[in-house]
A and B are shown apart, each in its own frame.
Chain A
Amino acid sequence: MSALTGGAQGSKKRKKDANGTIDTTSLPSKRLAVEQDATATIQKLEDQIVESRKFYNNIATLLSMLNARTSKDEPNLTVAVALCRIFCRLIAGGDLKEQSRATEQEKIIVAWLKERCQEYQRALLDVIRQAEASFKVTALHLSMRLANARAAHLPGSETHVWLTGLFKGVFEALIEAREGESLRSEFVEQYLREYEDIRYYTFMQITVYAAERRNPEILERLIFIISQCDVVPQPEHEFTKSYVKLEKKDRNPLLSVGAHKKRAQEAWLAILKNELSDPQRKQLLRMMSHTIVPWFNRPELLMDFLTDSYNSGGSTSLLALSGLFYLIQEKNLDYPQFYPKLYSLLDADLLHSKHRSRFFRLMETFLASTHLPATLVASFIKRLSRLALNAPPTAIVAIVPFIYNLLKSHPTCTFMIHRAIHDKDWIAELEMEGMDDPFDPNEQDPTLTNAIESSLWEIEALQSHYHPNVAAIARIISEQFTKQAYNLEDFLDYTYQGMLIAELGVEERPFKKAPVIEFQIPKRIFTDRLLEEDRGEDTAPGSMLRQLWDFST
C-alpha cells in the first residue's frame, strides 16, 4: 500500500490504518484504482483549501461528499478525516475567530465557516449514533480531536465546548448509540481513563443527563461508564494527564481534587436517585464500598439510597448492610431498626443464598460488640440454630463456630447450652409434662423472643449429622470452652463440591487401612428373593426400598 500512496498522504494513511476502517489490500485492483482516484480528489480539494481562502467552497463540496456520496450507514471516512484536518487547521489558524476589526466580508466568511463546522459536527454525531461500530469509533476520535482543537484555540469557548457544546453532543450520542458497547469501551479506554479532564467533564455530563428520568437500558450504560472511573485521586494528587493543555492558574477546578470528587459525587447521586431496576441496585450495592464510596466527600449522602435498599428486603438488604453499617459507625447515622431488620434477614433462604459468607462476615462485625443486650444475642443464636436444622452442611459448618464465638463473648447466653435447675417445683413440672420451647420464632423484635430461656436443642440434634465432620463441629458446644474464639474465616466458603473432593480426592490413593465391608451378604437387594424363607418378613437392609419401589420390570 505504501507503494500506491504518496508521502503526502502518509499521515492520513496511518490514521486509516490505526482505525482499521478501510482495508484496501483486500479490494480488487479495479476498485482499488477507483478508491485511489477518490482519495486523490479529496487530497486535491484539501490542498486547495489550505492553499487559498478562495477555495473554501471546497469544504461544502467535501461535506456533500461526506453525506451525499454514500448512504448514512457507510460514511466516507476519508472525507471525514480530511475535513477534520481542515477544520483543525482553520481553528488553529484563527479563521473561525471573529475579529472585532474584521471587514463585513470576513465576518460573513467566519460565520459561513462556523456554520459549516456545525454541520460537520452534526454529521459526525449522526455517524456516532447510527453507523457501524468501526465508523463510530473513528467518528468519536474525530469529534474528540475537533473538540480539543476548539477548546485549545478558541478562547472563552473552552467551557462551552465541554459543557454544552460539542462534547455534550458527543456524550449523548455515545450513550444513545445503538449497539455501542465497543464504542463505549473504546471511549472509556482511550479518553475516560486516560485523561482526567475528560473524566471531569464526563461526570458533569452524567449529572445533567441522569437528572431526568431515564429508562433502565440507558442507566445501565451510564452505570457502566461511571463505574469504570474507579481510580480515585488521592488528596495530594497532581493532575498531569490532561487532554487539553491546562492553564496553571489558581482556582482551576480541573486541578483540584475536591472539585473532581464533587463532580463524581454529583454524578453518582444523580444515578442513584434515578429509577433503578433491582439487578442494577444490587450491582451498585456490590460496588458500593470499593468504587462508589471513595468518590464521596460526604458519604452520608448515600444514606437515602442505602436505607431504601435495606428496607426493600431480600438479598438487596444483605448487600446494603455493609454500607449502612459504615454510615452508622462512622457518620453517626441513626437507624434504630438496624438489629430488628438484621434479625428479619435471617430467613429460610439466607443459608442457601450465595451471599451467605458475606453475610456471616458482616454479622460477625455487627454482633462483635459486648455491649449488646444478651436477649438480642440469644435471639440471633437461637434463630441461627433453628435455621441450621434446614441448612446444608456448608452452612452448619459456619453457624456452629459463630454461635460458639457469640456464647464466648456473651457468657450470659451460655444458659442456652447449660441450665442447671434448682427450683423444685419446676423440676417436678418437667418430670410430669416436659416442656415446650419458650422461644417464639414469629416474634419480629429480637429483644422479645424469649430465646434466652430456651436451649439449643437444634445444635445438639445436629451432633448426629450424617457428615462426620459437621457432627464433630456441632460437638464443640458440648465440650469445654477452652478455645478463645474460632476464626470464622476458616469455616466460610465451603461448598458441596469442595467437601466431596476433600473426601474423595482428585485421584485414588492407597488406603491406610482396608475399608470395612458389611459382613453379611444380603439375601436380596432389589427383588423379593427367598422371602418365604424369612416367613415373608423382610428384615434385610434396604427393606423400605423394596417395600416402596417396584423393581419387577
Chain B
Amino acid sequence: MAPSQLKQLKASLHENRILGPQQSKKQKRANAKSGANRQNRIQRNAALQGIRERFNPFEIKAPVKSVKFGVATSSKAIRDRDYVRPGVTKSLGEERRRATLLKELHSRSKVGGILDRRFGENDPTMTPEEKAAERFARESQKRFRKEALFNLEDEEEDIQLTHMGQSISFGGDTNDDFREDDISGSDDDMFQNTQSSERKRSFIDEGGMGGVGDEDEEEHPERKKTKAEVMKELIAKSKFYKHERQKAKEDDEDLRAELDKELPSLFEVVQGASLPVKQGPLLGDSEKVEIPDNARKDSKAADREYDQRLKQMTFEKRSKPTDRIKTEEEKAEEEAERLKTLEMARLRRMRGEEGNLEDEEVRANQSDSELMPDDAKVFGLSQPSNIHLELGAEDEDDFVIDESLVETDSDASLSFIQNDWGEISEARSESEEEEDQMMNGLTFPVDGTREVLSAPTRGFESENGNLAFTYICPETHQHFLDIIKKIQTEDLPAVIQRIRALHHPRLHSDNKWKLARFSAVLVEHVSYMANQSERPSFTILENILRHIHSLAKNYPENVATAFRAHLRCIATERPLKFLPGDLVILTGVLTIFPTSDHFHTVTTPANLCLARYLGQSTIDSLTDLAIGAYIANLCIQYQVLAKRFIPEFMNYCLNALHMLCPVEIKEVHGFLPLRKPTRSLRLHCLKHTTYRRIQFWDILETELSPSSAEELKLSLICMFISLIDFAADLWSTKSAFKEMFDAAHNTLLRLSNSYREDISPHLQNQTKACVIKLERLFSQARTSRRPLALHNHRPLAIKTFVPKFEENFNPDRHYDPNQERAELNRLKAEHKRERKGAMRELRKDANFIAREALKEKKERDVAYEKKFKRIIADIQGEEGREANSYKREQKKRQGIR
C-alpha cells in the first residue's frame, strides 16, 4: 500500500533536493559568487513545478473513453489525448489575452502611442550583448537572402551598422534613420494587431518591413524621388507621347486630304486612256509632295528598284513542262475510275451505310428526350401528331464531279466565256458532242451564244428569228407563264436555255439565286404543261426535265424542295387521283434523283406516294388501270438497282389481272387481298383484238369505243404480265421468292386457262412464257433455300467493372472520386473547424473581458469605499472636533458664569 500523500510529498521533495540539510554561510556566499545560486533556484523551481503537477490529479484531463486497441494504433493524436492539461492551456490563453486583449482594452478609445519595435527590446531574457548580436545577425541575414538571388555584381558590403540611430558607414552619407516605410509598416502592424487578437507579430515580418526600405535606398542612391515626383514625371511623359501621336495622325490626315483632292484627275487618267494608267503612278503624287527632288534620293530609289527587280527575277517561276496531253486510253481510264467511285458512293447510300448511323442516333436521342419512350420512334416512325422532318443523310459528291467535268472539257483553256459555256451546258462526261447537240440542235450554234454573252444588247439573227434573246429570269411560275405567253411550245427549250445562259452565275452574283428560283419554277412548269389539255410533246417535257436535272446539279436544295412541295401537294390533295403532271414529275424523280438510295429526301416520299396509290386506289375504269400500270411501272423502275420489295406492286398487278381476266378466277389465292371493281372490266376476247403498245395519253381516254377498249384491256393484260415478269427477275434472289410469286403463278395459270382459242397469240405466248419463267425461278429458289440462321451473333458479354483498389487505404480519409466534391468537403470541414475555434476564442475573450471588467469595477468600488470612509471619517473628525469645541465653549461660558 502506498504511503499517504503527505509522506509521498515529503519523499519527493527530498528526492529533488529541495528539502535538505541547511547550507553553511560559507557555502552560501560561494554559491552566490559563482552564480550557482541562481542556477539552483531555477532548478528548484522546475522541480517544484514537476512535483506540483504530479500531485495535482485535476490538472490532467483523463480521456473520455479509454483507447481501444491502444497498442495497435500508432496514431500520435490518440496517444496524446492522455496528456491534455486544461489548466495549462487555460492559463496560457489567459496570459496571451492579458498580453494582447487587455492591452487593447486599455488602449481603447485612445489615440497614438509609441511602439518599441527594436529587436528584443521587450524580451527580458536577453542580455544587451545578445540583443546586439541578434540584431547584427538579422541585418546580415536579410541582406544576404534578399539580394543574393539576383545580385550579379557583388559591389559592396551592405551591412550597415548603426549607432544611436546614426549610420556607422564610412562613406559619409548621412542616412536618416527615420523612414516613412517604417512608420507605415508599424502602423500597419498596429492595425493588424487590432484586427486579430490571435495574430502575433513575428520578427521575420518586422525584418521584412525594414528590408524594403533599405532596398529603396540602394536603387536611388543620389536622391530618393518621392512618389509624387515619380508620378509627375510619368504623367509628363505620357502627355508627350500622346502629343506626338496626335501630331503624326494630323500629318496623315493632311496627306490623305491632298490625295483625295487629286482623285478626280486620277479617274480622268484611268478613263481617258488605258496606257497612261500604267504610267500615271498612284503613289507618285504623294511621294512628290513628301520627298523633294533630290539626286541622292533618286539614286537610292533606283538602287532599290534594282534590288526589287533582282529579287523578283530570282523568285520568278521557272518555266516548267506543261501537263502532257492525255491519251484516249488514259482518259477512258480516268473516266472509268470516276464512275467507279460514284458507283461505290451510290452503293453505300443504297445500303444506307453512311450518315444513317448518325441519323439513327439523332432519332434515338429524340426518343430519349421524350417523356414517354416510344419504341417506334427508334425506327423513325412517328405519328402525324408529332411530325418531325427527316432530312437527308447522304454524302455529297456533286460539286467535285462538276469541277472535274469542267476540267475534262477540251476547250477549257480557251476563254472565260467558253469555259463558262462548258459549265452551263453541264458537260456530260461521256459525250461532249451530245451535250452540244442538246444545246445547239434546238437553238443556235455555240458561237452565237458567245456573241450573245459578250454583247448582250446586240441583236442576233437565227433560224427562229422571232425569238428574243434576252429574257428576265422568272421568279414565280406565274411570271414564267407571262414570259412564255406568246412563245410556241416548240421554242420553249430554246427560251429556257437562253435564260440559263443569260443568267449564268459567273455573270452576276445575283444570278445564282435567280437560277435557283428558276429551277423550282421549271419543276412547277413541267407538271403544269403535262396537265394542259393540248398534251405537249414528250420531247419538250424530256428536254425540260433534262434542264432541271442539269440545274439540280448546281442547286440541289431548290430542286429537291420543289419536288418535295409537289409530292406534298399530291399527298394532301389527290393521293389516289393522279394527274398526268404528277406522273411526269414522278418520272422526273426517277431520272434526277438516285432512286436506289436507302433513304433520300425526295425518292423515299415519292416511293411512298406511288405505293400508296397502288395500295389504296379504287379501280373503276380502264383509265384507272392505265394510270395504275404506269405507276406500277415507275415503282418497279425505281427499284431496278436496289431491288427492294414492294408488296403493293404485287397486289395491284394481280388484282388488275383478276379484273381483266375473261372469266372470274374463283380460287382464292392465299394471302392476296382482292378488290372488286364497281363495274366489270373483263376482257371479251374479240377475234380481231390485237396487242398494241399503250400510249401515255391512254390514262386520260375516258370515251373509248368497245373495240378500242378491248384492245386497251388486252394490252393492259400484256403490260401487267410483263411487269410481273420483270419483277420476278428483279426479286428472284429474295429468300421468300416462292411466297411472293405464288399468287402470281396461280393467277397466270388460271388466266392462260381462261383464254379462248382465238385470242391474240401474243398474249398467249407471253402468259405461257411468264408461267414457265416463274416455274423455273421457283425451282431455283427451292434449291437455294436454306433454313434461316440469323442469329450467329457472338453472345453478348455481361458488362464488367474492374474494382479500383486504393493503396495505403486509411479509413479516416475520404476517398471521393469526384475531385471537386472532395475539395469542397475539405473546405467545408475546415470552415466548420475554424468557425468552432473562432467561436470558442470569442467566448473566452468575452469571458476574459467580463472578468477584467468585474475586477476593475471591484477595484473602483474598493477605492470608492475607501474614499467614502475617509471622507466620512474626516467629517466625523471635524464634527467631533466641532462638538468638542462647542462643549469647550459651553464649559467656558458656564465657567464664565
Contact = CB atoms under 8 A, between A and B. Distances in A.
Interface in B387-414: 387-398, 401
A446 B426 CA distance: 62
Nearest to A496: B612
B571 interface: yes
A468 B349 CA distance: 12
Interface string A393-420: 1001100010000000000001011111
Contacts of A465: 644-647
Contacts of B600: 515-516
B549 A514 contact: no
Contact of A468 (B599, B668, B793): B599
Interface string A472-509: 11000111111100110011011111111111111011
B448 to A, nearest CB: 23
Nearest to B402: A519
Interface string B370-385: 0000111101111110
B11 interface: no
Contact of A541 (B395, B637, B722): B637
A357 to B, nearest CB: 12
B791 interface: yes
B469 interface: no
B607 A497 contact: no
B696 interface: yes
Interface string B539-568: 101100110011011001101110011011
A465 B743 CA distance: 19
B560 A500 contact: no
A515 B428 contact: no
A544 B637 contact: yes
Interface in A169-227: none
Q: Taking each of B393, B565, B789, which has the highest tally of chain A beta carbons within 10 Å of its own beta carbon?
A: B789
Nearest to B396: A514
Nearest to B568: A504
Interface residues of B, number: 135
Interface stretch (A17-25, A74-82, A133-141, A434-442): A434-442
B671 A348 contact: yes
A541 B593 CA distance: 11
A479 B379 CA distance: 14
Interface stretch (B173-181, B204-212, B240-248, B584-592): B584-592
A327 B615 CA distance: 37
A466 B639 contact: yes
B573 to A, nearest CB: 12
Query: Which size bracket describes the interface of A in this complex?
Result: 35 or more
Contacts of A533: 431, 434
A167 B339 CA distance: 89
Contact of B392 (A352, A390, A515, A553): A515
Contacts of B392: 511-516
Contact of A521 (B376, B550, B640, B743): B550
Contacts of B597: 516
Contacts of B115: none
Contacts of B394: 513, 515-516
Contact of A516 (B349, B377, B389, B643): B349
Contact of A430 (B567, B640, B786): B786
Contact of B564 (A493, A504, A519, A522): A504
A482 to B, nearest CB: 7
Contacts of A511: 391-392, 557, 560-561, 601
A487 B375 contact: yes
A521 B571 contact: no
B342 interface: yes
B749 interface: no
A494 B557 contact: no
Interface in B738-796: 738-740, 743, 781-793, 796
A476 B514 CA distance: 47
B652 to A, nearest CB: 11
Interface string A435-477: 1110001000000000000011110111011111101110001
Nearest to A421: B787
A481 B790 CA distance: 11
A419 B788 contact: yes
B661 interface: no
A312 interface: no
Contacts of B785: 434-437, 457
A498 B571 CA distance: 10
Contacts of B593: 515-518
Interface stretch (A231-239, A244-252, A313-321, A523-531): A523-531
Contacts of B607: 466-467
B581 interface: no
A349 B674 CA distance: 8
A548 B605 contact: no
A545 interface: yes
Contacts of B437: 530
Contact of B434 (A419, A478, A530): A530
B398 A514 contact: yes
B736 A516 contact: no
A10 interface: no
A386 interface: yes
A181 B650 CA distance: 47
A482 B735 contact: no
Interface stretch (B75-83, B194-202, B502-510, B628-636): B628-636
B886 interface: no
B634 A545 contact: yes
Given A390-B672, A544-B726, A545-B633, A525 B591 contact: yes
Given A389-B671, A464-B643, A549 B788 contact: no
A517 B608 contact: no
B575 interface: yes
Q: Taking each of A498, A515, A519, A527, which has the highest tally of chain B beta carbons within 10 Å of its own beta carbon?
A: A515
Contacts of B397: 516, 519
Nearest to B356: A468
Given A472-B380, A513-B355, A525-B545, A390 B647 contact: yes
A461 B793 contact: no
B391 A482 contact: no
B380 A468 contact: yes
A391 interface: yes
B612 A418 contact: no
A414 B723 CA distance: 36
A500 B383 contact: no
B396 A513 contact: yes
A515 B591 contact: no
Nearest to B669: A348
B391 A513 contact: yes
A494 B381 contact: yes
A340 interface: no
Interface in B781-836: 781-793, 796
B179 to A, nearest CB: 74
A542 B590 contact: yes
Contacts of B553: 517, 519
B673 interface: yes
Interface of B: 342, 349, 352, 355, 360, 374-377, 379-384, 387-398, 401, 426, 428-431, 434, 437, 535, 538-539, 541-542, 545-546, 549-550, 552-553, 556-557, 559-561, 564-565, 567-568, 571-572, 575, 587-588, 590-595, 597-602, 604-605, 607-609, 611-612, 615-616, 630, 633-634, 636-640, 642-648, 650-651, 668, 670-674, 693-697, 719, 722-723, 726, 734-740, 743, 781-793, 796
Given A466-B607, A467-B607, 13 more contacts: A386-B739, A389-B739, A418-B792, A420-B789, A457-B735, A466-B639, A478-B790, A499-B381, A504-B567, A506-B568, A516-B593, A533-B434, A545-B633
Going nearest first, the 3 A-B pairs with the smallest beta carbon separation are: A505-B389, A434-B783, A461-B736
24 contacts: A397-B381, A421-B787, A430-B786, A435-B786, A437-B738, A455-B788, A457-B785, A457-B788, A460-B735, A465-B645, A466-B611, A466-B646, A469-B380, A477-B790, A493-B383, A502-B390, A503-B605, A508-B564, A511-B392, A511-B601, A513-B392, A515-B392, A526-B539, A549-B630
